[in-house]
């Protein structure tokens, strides 16, 4: 399985937060799964750390360390994904979530998310 972590899932998985489902932990830890963090999530984490997101170190250092530690690959945002945006229903306004959905559709990924808004879209999800 090819898994795209939503931003909260990345933060919860890398800190072993209690919000994680057992299924999410199993999917994340299964070495047969390819796990990706989007450049969109990197952007979101950095923006939110400038506001109020508490992290143990600077966002860029934290993200790099956690991706290396957990063998998470980066997924860049490309035109193939962006072009999916015009096909999405307008269930909510979060541009970060919409781009993750577009990437998942464009690259045949399953989004690991507990977000009730994301599961309303025509995209594969797991939690």
Residue 12 pLDDT: 95
pLDDT for residue 93: 87
| Model confidence at 50: pLDDT above 80 | no
Q: Is 41 exposed, middle or buried (0-12, 13-18, 19+ CB in 10 A)?
A: buried
Q: Is the pLDDT of residue 73 over 80?
A: yes
């Amino acid at each position: 399985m090819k898994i795209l972590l939503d931003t909260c899932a990345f933060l919860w998985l890398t800190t072993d937060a209690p919000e994680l489902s057992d299924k999410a932990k199993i999917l994340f830890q299964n070495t047969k799964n390819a796990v990706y963090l989007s450049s969109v999530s990197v952007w979101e984490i950095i923006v939110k750390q400038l506001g109020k997101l508490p992290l143990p170190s600077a966002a860029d250092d934290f993200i790099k360390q956690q991706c290396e530690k957990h063998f998470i690959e980066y997924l860049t945002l490309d035109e193939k994904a962006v072009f999916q945006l015009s096909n999405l229903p307008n269930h909510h306004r979060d541009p970060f979530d919409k781009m993750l959905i577009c990437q998942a559709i464009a690259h045949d990924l399953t989004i690991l998310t507990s977000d009730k808004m994301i599961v309303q879209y025509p995209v594969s999800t797991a939690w």
